[in-house]
């Protein structure tokens, strides 16, 4: 009887020490990220929700690859009728800036024109904020538009 009680206590201790937070960290870039806000640098205007006339999504996979989809048209304000797609690899490092958790470097292997690397064709930089949003790093410093992405729960 004592061994049965001891076994039950041991099982409870083992399962209570297995925490879901251990398996799923609070900050995780894996998954689907959609544009949710755009800051126009000219007048610091914010576009949110349906004010953003295009869609843009990153999918970060656990094998270090990503896919970028966008209907953003670089020539006019009219969105593209079908999204463009680019594929590549990404690298994550802890941020040295206290406002951010991680810094991501994306290296495009297809459709290099979809990268927003401030003159670095085929490279793009994003940062993960402590609020769990991705933002562009170099776009703003080049006098461009700043994009904010939020992680989506669903895949579609």
Total-model pTM: 0.77
* Residue 116 belongs to domain spanning: 27-152
Rounded Cα distance, 145 and 100, in Å: 19
Per-residue pLDDT 10s for the chain (156 aa) are 555 544 444 454 444 444 433 434 577 899 999 999 988 876 778 999 889 999 999 999 999 999 999 998 877 878 999 999 999 999 999 999 998 999 999 999 999 988 876 777 899 999 999 999 999 866 656 767 889 999 987 554
Q: Is residue 20 part of a domain?
A: no
Asked if residue 3 is part of any domain, the answer here is no
**Domain of residue 36, CATH code:** 2.40.128
80: in domain:
yes
For residue 37, the tally of other CB atoms under 10 A from its CB is 17
Total number of domains in the chain: 1
Question: Which among 83, 84, 156, 97 has a CA at the least distance from the CA of 126?
Answer: 97
Establish if 60 belongs to a structural domain: yes
């Amino acid at each position: 009887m004592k061994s049965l009680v001891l076994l039950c206590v041991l099982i409870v201790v083992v399962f209570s020490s297995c925490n879901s937070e251990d398996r799923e960290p609070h900050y995780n870039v894996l998954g689907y990220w959609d544009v949710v806000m755009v800051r126009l640098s000219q007048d610091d205007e914010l576009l949110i929700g349906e004010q953003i006339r295009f869609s843009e999504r990153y999918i970060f996979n656990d094998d270090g690859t990503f896919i970028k989809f966008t209907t953003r048209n670089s020539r006019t304000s009219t969105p593209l009728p079908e999204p463009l797609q680019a594929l590549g690899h990404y690298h994550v490092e802890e941020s040295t800036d206290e406002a951010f958790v991680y810094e991501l470097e994306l290296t495009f292997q297809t459709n290099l024109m979809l990268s927003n690397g401030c003159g670095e064709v085929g490279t793009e930089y994003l940062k993960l904020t402590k609020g769990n949003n991705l933002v562009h790093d170099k776009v703003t410093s080049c006098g461009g538009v700043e994009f904010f992405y939020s992680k989506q729960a669903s895949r579609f």
